[in-house]
Amino acid sequence: MSEETPTPVESLHKPNAVLRVAAAASIVSWLILLIYLYFFITNLVSIFSTPGAFPQQIGDQISLVLQILLQLPLMGGFYFLVLQGISHLLYLGVDIFDNLMEEIEIE
Protein backbone atom coordinates (compact mmCIF):
# COMPACT_ATOMS: atom_id res chain seq x y z
CA MET A 1 0.00 0.00 0.00
CA SER A 2 1.17 3.44 -0.79
CA GLU A 3 1.24 6.00 1.93
CA GLU A 4 -0.41 9.33 1.13
CA THR A 5 1.55 12.42 1.95
CA PRO A 6 -0.44 15.21 3.52
CA THR A 7 -1.01 18.13 1.23
CA PRO A 8 -0.47 21.62 2.57
CA VAL A 9 -3.56 23.62 3.38
CA GLU A 10 -4.67 25.57 0.35
CA SER A 11 -5.29 29.24 0.98
CA LEU A 12 -8.20 30.99 -0.59
CA HIS A 13 -6.43 34.31 -0.77
CA LYS A 14 -3.18 35.76 -1.97
CA PRO A 15 -1.35 37.42 0.93
CA ASN A 16 0.22 40.05 -1.32
CA ALA A 17 -3.19 41.07 -2.65
CA VAL A 18 -4.58 41.38 0.87
CA LEU A 19 -1.60 43.50 1.90
CA ARG A 20 -2.11 45.76 -1.12
CA VAL A 21 -5.81 46.21 -0.27
CA ALA A 22 -4.90 47.04 3.34
CA ALA A 23 -2.29 49.58 2.20
CA ALA A 24 -4.79 51.12 -0.24
CA ALA A 25 -7.42 51.41 2.51
CA SER A 26 -4.90 53.16 4.73
CA ILE A 27 -3.89 55.61 1.99
CA VAL A 28 -7.51 56.33 1.03
CA SER A 29 -8.37 56.97 4.68
CA TRP A 30 -5.67 59.63 4.93
CA LEU A 31 -6.80 61.20 1.63
CA ILE A 32 -10.40 61.36 2.84
CA LEU A 33 -9.29 62.93 6.10
CA LEU A 34 -7.29 65.57 4.21
CA ILE A 35 -10.20 66.31 1.86
CA TYR A 36 -12.63 66.78 4.76
CA LEU A 37 -10.08 68.94 6.55
CA TYR A 38 -9.70 71.09 3.42
CA PHE A 39 -13.48 71.55 3.12
CA PHE A 40 -13.71 72.35 6.82
CA ILE A 41 -11.03 75.05 6.55
CA THR A 42 -12.52 76.56 3.40
CA ASN A 43 -15.94 76.72 5.08
CA LEU A 44 -14.42 78.44 8.11
CA VAL A 45 -12.62 80.95 5.93
CA SER A 46 -15.72 81.67 3.84
CA ILE A 47 -17.90 82.15 6.93
CA PHE A 48 -15.58 84.46 8.80
CA SER A 49 -14.14 86.38 5.83
CA THR A 50 -17.47 87.35 4.23
CA PRO A 51 -19.18 90.23 6.03
CA GLY A 52 -22.66 89.29 7.14
CA ALA A 53 -22.12 85.57 6.50
CA PHE A 54 -22.30 84.73 10.20
CA PRO A 55 -25.97 84.87 11.24
CA GLN A 56 -27.13 87.29 13.92
CA GLN A 57 -29.82 85.07 15.47
CA ILE A 58 -28.65 82.61 18.13
CA GLY A 59 -30.71 79.75 16.67
CA ASP A 60 -29.13 80.23 13.26
CA GLN A 61 -25.66 80.44 14.82
CA ILE A 62 -26.15 77.12 16.63
CA SER A 63 -27.43 75.53 13.43
CA LEU A 64 -24.44 76.83 11.49
CA VAL A 65 -21.97 75.58 14.09
CA LEU A 66 -23.59 72.14 14.20
CA GLN A 67 -23.88 71.85 10.45
CA ILE A 68 -20.53 73.14 9.25
CA LEU A 69 -18.18 73.12 12.17
CA LEU A 70 -19.13 69.71 13.58
CA GLN A 71 -20.55 67.73 10.66
CA LEU A 72 -17.52 67.85 8.39
CA PRO A 73 -14.89 66.89 11.00
CA LEU A 74 -17.10 64.15 12.45
CA MET A 75 -17.87 62.61 9.06
CA GLY A 76 -14.25 62.80 7.97
CA GLY A 77 -13.11 61.28 11.25
CA PHE A 78 -15.70 58.51 10.96
CA TYR A 79 -14.62 57.53 7.44
CA PHE A 80 -10.98 57.73 8.51
CA LEU A 81 -11.52 55.43 11.49
CA VAL A 82 -13.56 52.92 9.50
CA LEU A 83 -10.96 52.64 6.75
CA GLN A 84 -8.09 52.48 9.25
CA GLY A 85 -9.97 49.73 11.10
CA ILE A 86 -10.44 47.76 7.88
CA SER A 87 -6.76 48.16 7.09
CA HIS A 88 -5.63 46.97 10.52
CA LEU A 89 -8.08 44.05 10.50
CA LEU A 90 -6.70 42.91 7.15
CA TYR A 91 -3.14 43.10 8.51
CA LEU A 92 -4.24 41.19 11.59
CA GLY A 93 -5.92 38.54 9.46
CA VAL A 94 -2.78 38.02 7.39
CA ASP A 95 -0.69 37.73 10.58
CA ILE A 96 -3.08 35.16 12.06
CA PHE A 97 -3.09 33.17 8.82
CA ASP A 98 0.72 33.21 8.65
CA ASN A 99 1.01 32.04 12.25
CA LEU A 100 -1.49 29.23 11.62
CA MET A 101 0.39 28.14 8.53
CA GLU A 102 3.68 28.05 10.49
CA GLU A 103 2.05 25.87 13.16
CA ILE A 104 0.68 23.49 10.54
CA GLU A 105 4.06 23.23 8.83
CA ILE A 106 5.84 22.51 12.13
CA GLU A 107 3.51 19.61 12.94
- Of residues 44, 45, 63, the one with CA closest to residue 55: 63
Average pLDDT over residues 34-63: 79
Place 47 in a pLDDT band, splitting at 50, 70 and 90.
confident
pLDDT recorded at residue 77: 94
pLDDT recorded at residue 60: 74
Average pLDDT over residues 13-38: 92
pTM reported for the whole predicted model:
0.72
Residues composing the chain: 107
Most confident range (mean pLDDT) of 12-26, 50-64, 79-93 is: 79-93
**What percentage of the chain's residues is helix, strand, coil (to nearest 5)?**
80, 0, 20
Place 72 in a pLDDT band, splitting at 50, 70 and 90.
confident
